[in-house]
Amino acid sequence: MTTDTPAPAASASEERYVAVQQSEDFSRLRKTLRGFIFPMTVAFFLWYALYVILSAYARGFMDTKVVGHINVALVFGLLQFVSTFLIAWLYSRFASRQVDPLADKIAHELSEKGDAE
Amino acid sequence: MNPSVLAAEAGDTTARTLTITLFLIFVAITLAITVWASRQTKTATDFYAGGRSFSGFQNGMAIGGDYMSAASFLGIAGLIALYGYDGFLYSIGFLVAWLVALLLVAELLRNSGKYTMADVLAFRMRQRPVRTAAAVSTITVSIFYLIAQMVGAGALVALLLGIRPGTTFLGMDADAAKVATIILVGALMIIYVTVGGMKGTTYVQIVKAFLLMSGAALMTVLVLAKFNFNLSSLLGAASDASGKGEAFLQPGLYYGKDVAGDATQTFYNKVDLFSLGIALVLGTAGLPHILIRFYTVPTARAARKSVLWAIGIIGTFYLFTLALGFGAAALVGGDAIREQNAAGNTAAPQLAEALGVDFLGGDTGGAVLLAVIAAVAFATILAVVAGLTLASSSSLAHDFYANVIKKGETSEKQEVNVARIAAFAIGAVSIVLALFAQSLNVAFLVALAFAVAASGNLPAILYSLFWKRFNTSGATWAIYGGLVAAVVLVFFSPVVSGTETSMFKNSDWQWFPLSNPGIISIPFGFLCGWIGTLLSKESDEQKYAELEVRSLTGAGAH
C-alpha cells in the first residue's frame, strides 16, 4: 500500500473549505437540507414498506372493494404514485426556496475569496 | 393448409418486414446521431459526460431511456397480464426508488464528482483501493444487467419476428436467430459507445424514451377506449378472462404466495417479497449507469430537474403498463399469451396486434401495430445496453486504468482511448457470456444487479456524503461486503439451483431460502462499512470539509 497516492498536504484552498464548513451560514445550510431530506426519506421508506407489508400480510384488508372492481390494494398502489410525485414536487419547491439561495451565497463568497488570493 | 393459417402467415410476413424496416430505420437514425456525436466528442468530458451540456429535460428523458428496460416494458406488462396485481406491485418499487436518488444522491454527486461513481467515493480516501473496489462493483453490476438484457433480446427476437419452431427466416431457425440477435445487439452497443461516447448514447436513449412513451401511450389510450375509459370495467374484464376471478386483482398470485399447509414456505415467500421491495427502492440510486447520467448536465440544479422529469416520465410509463397488462389479460387472454411465451414477455406485442385488428382495420392494422411495438422493444434494449456498456467502460478507464494503474498520470486522450478499448472488450465479453447463458433462466440477474447496488454501492455513497468519520477501509469493506453477500446468497438461493425454474435445474446446492438477498445483504453492507471505518484510524477532516462544502454548495464543481 506504500504506492498509494498520499493525500496532499493541506493547501490554502483546503483551509478555506474548513473555514466555510465551520461558518454559521454553512451549518444553517446543512441543517436546513438535512432537516428536509432525512425525515422525508424515512417517511417515504416507511410508507412504501407499509404498502409491501400490507400486500404480504393484510390480504383481507387489501382485497376490500372500494368501488366496482377497484379494491384497496389498487388504491394503495396508486397512492404510492401520488406520494412519489408529491414528495418530488415538495422537495423541488423546498430546495429552490430554502436551499438554493443559501448555497449560492456560500459558493459566491467562496469564489470571491478564491479570486482575492 | 386452410385459409386462416395462410392469412395469418401473410400477416406474419407483413409484420415481420415492417418490424425489420422500422428497426433498421431506428438503427440508421441512431447511427447517424452517433457519427454526428463523435464529431462533437473531443475531450474526456465529452466522452464520459457528454460535455455536461444536456438540459434537465433532455437528461430526464435519457434517464428514462436508460432505466426503462425491456424487463420493465415487456416484463412488467407480461407479469400483470399473467398474474394481475402483483406485476403492478413490482413496478412501484422501481418508481419510489427515484426519491432516494432525488433527495440523497443526485445533486451532491453532481457537485462533487467528475465522471464516475468512484469520483465521489474516493474523494477523501486513498485512491487505489477505493477506485479498484468501485470498478469491480460497477463492472459486476453492469455485466449482470447486460447479460440479462442480451439474453432477453435473443429470446424475444424469435417471438417478435414470429419465427415459429420449424419455420425459418432468412435461412435462420429460431436458435440461429437468437445467436444472431445477441451478436447484433452487442455489436451495435459497442458502436454507439466507442464512436458516440456519452453524447451518442444519450441521444439514443432520448429517441428510445420518446418512442417507448409514444407507443405505450397510444396503446393505453386504445385499451381504455375499448372499455369506455372505465378502469373498473377494464379490471373486471381482465379478471373474468384470467380465469382467476377477483384474486387476479389482489396481491398474492406471484409474490408472497400463501402455500397451504406449509407455514415455513409461506413465511419465506412473504419475506422474499419484502426483500425484493427494499432492493428495488435502495438499488436504483446505486446503479453506476444511472449515477453517471447526473454528470451530463451543467449544474446540480439541472441534475435535480432531470430527476424530476425522470420521475414524471417513469411514473407515467408504469401507469401505462398497468393498462397494458390488464388490457392484454382482457383482450388477448392468459392462455394465448402463455402459448407464445410462458413468462408473458410477449403480452405487450400481442396486445398491440389485437388493438391493431380492432382499431386500425383488420389483420393489416394488427400487423402494423405489432411491428411498431416490436421495433420499439428492440430500440428499448439497445438504449439500455449502451448505457451499461458506457458505465462499465468509463469505470474501467477512469477508475482502474487512469487512477489505479497509472496513478493519475495519463493524458485525457490516452484515457479516452482506453475507455473505447474497454467498451469493446466489455461488449465482447458480454456477447460471449450471453451466448453461453442463453438457454439458462437468467431473469434473476436484473434483481441481483439491484441487490448488489443497494448492498455495496449505496452504503458507500451515503457514508461518503454524510459521515465525517468514514474512510478508505470503510469504503472498501462496504463495497466488497455488500457485493459478496448479495452474490453468495443468490448463488445458494433457489434461483440458481434446486428447483424447476432454477438457472441450473438439475443440480442442487441451495440452502438460502430467499430468491432476493436484499433483506440480509443490504444491512450487511451498511454494517461492513461501519465496522470497516472503525477498524481504521484514518480520518481526513480537511478533505471532508472540502467534500461537504462542494457537494452542498456546488463550489468548485466540474
> Band of the pLDDT at B12, cuts 50, 70, 90?
low
The number of angstroms, rounded, from the C-alpha of B287 to the middle of its chain's C-alpha atoms is 9
> Band of the pLDDT at B17, cuts 50, 70, 90?
confident
Q: Specify the pLDDT at position B375.
A: 87
Our CA-based measurement puts residue A37 at a distance from the nearest CA of chain B, in whole angstroms, of 6
Q: Judge: A107–B553 Cβ closer than 8 Å, yes or no.
A: yes
Q: How many CB pairs under 8 A join A and B?
A: 174
Q: Which amino acid is at B7?
A: A
Top residue of A34, A48, A99, A106 to mutate, by most chain B CBs within 10 Å, is: A48
What's this model's pTM, rounded to 2 decimal places? 0.93
Q: Judge: A69–B233 Cβ closer than 8 Å, yes or no.
A: yes
- The x, y and z cell numbers of residue B418, run together, are 482506453
Q: Specify the pLDDT at position B287.
A: 96
Top residue of A13, A76, A81, A87 to mutate, by most chain B CBs within 10 Å, is: A81
- B58 Cβ neighbours under 8 A, 6+ residues apart: B202, B206, B306
Say if CB B94 and CB B314 are below 8 A apart.
Answer: yes
Tell me how far apart the alpha carbons of residues A27 and B79 are, in angstroms, rounded to a whole number.
48
Task: Reduce the secondary structure of B73-123 to three states and give it as a string.
Answer: HHHHHHHHHHHCHHHHHHHHHHHHHHHHHHHHHHHHHHHHCCCCHHHHHCC
* B231 vs A contacts (CB less than 8 Å): 70
Q: Bin B201: left if φ > 0, else alpha if -120 < ψ < 50, else beta.
A: alpha
Q: Identify the closest residue of chain B to A91 by CA–CA distance.
A: B103
Distances (CA, A) of B194 to B24, B140, B326: 20, 20, 40
Give the residue ranges of DSSP H helices in A10-99: 12-21, 24-57, 59-62, 72-94
> pLDDT per residue over B216-246, tens digit each?
999 999 999 999 999 999 999 999 999 899 9
Average pLDDT over residues B385-402: 95
Say if CB B118 and CB B128 are below 8 A apart.
Answer: no
Our count of domains for chain B comes to 1
User: Percent of chain B, pLDDT > 70?
Assistant: 97
Q: Specify the pLDDT at position B8.
A: 53
User: Percent of chain B, pLDDT > 90?
Assistant: 76
Average pLDDT over residues B173-189: 89
Q: Specify the pLDDT at position B371.
A: 87
State ipTM.
0.93
> Band of the pLDDT at B1, cuts 50, 70, 90?
very low
Average pLDDT over residues A81-108: 96
Q: Which residue from B273, B281, B315 is facing A48, i.e. has the nearest CB? A: B281
The CATH number assigned to the domain holding B34 equals 1.20.1730.10
Within chain A, what is the greatest distance between any pair of CA atoms?
Answer: 71
Q: Which residue from B88, B251, B548 is facing A59, i.e. has the nearest CB? A: B251
Q: Specify the pLDDT at position B6.
A: 43
B558 located within any domain: no
B60 located within any domain: yes
Average pLDDT over residues B62-91: 92
pLDDT at A8 over 80: no
Q: Specify the pLDDT at position B239.
A: 95
Residue B457 domain boundaries: 3-553
B509 located within any domain: yes
Q: Judge: A74–B249 Cβ closer than 8 Å, yes or no.
A: yes
> pLDDT per residue over B121-168, tens digit each?
999 999 999 999 999 999 999 999 999 899 888 877 777 777 766 777
Average pLDDT over residues B390-403: 95
Our CA-based measurement puts residue A81 at a distance from the nearest CA of chain B, in whole angstroms, of 7
> pLDDT per residue over B324-357, tens digit each?
999 999 999 999 999 888 888 889 999 999 999 9
> pLDDT per residue over B471-490, tens digit each?
999 999 999 999 999 999 99
B223 located within any domain: yes
Say if CB B359 and CB B220 are below 8 A apart.
Answer: no
Q: Specify the pLDDT at position B7.
A: 46
B523 located within any domain: yes
Give the residue ranges of DSSP H helices in B173-258: 174-226, 231-242
pLDDT at B438 over 90: no
* A95 vs B contacts (CB less than 8 Å): 304
Distances (CA, A) of B479 to B81, B286, B395: 37, 11, 15
* B255 vs A contacts (CB less than 8 Å): 55-56
Our CA-based measurement puts residue B555 at a distance from the nearest CA of chain A, in whole angstroms, of 5
B465 located within any domain: yes
Mean pLDDT of chain B: 92
Neighbours of B138 (CB within 10 A): 30
Q: Which amino acid is at B243?
A: G
Tell me how far apart the alpha carbons of residues B98 and B120 are, in angstroms, rounded to a whole number.
19
Our CA-based measurement puts residue B558 at a distance from the nearest CA of chain A, in whole angstroms, of 14
Q: Identify the closest residue of chain A to B312 by CA–CA distance.
A: A85
Tell me how far apart the alpha carbons of residues B521 and B245 are, in angstroms, rounded to a whole number.
37
Q: Identify the closest residue of chain A to B84 by CA–CA distance.
A: A74
> pLDDT per residue over B143-153, tens digit each?
999 998 998 88
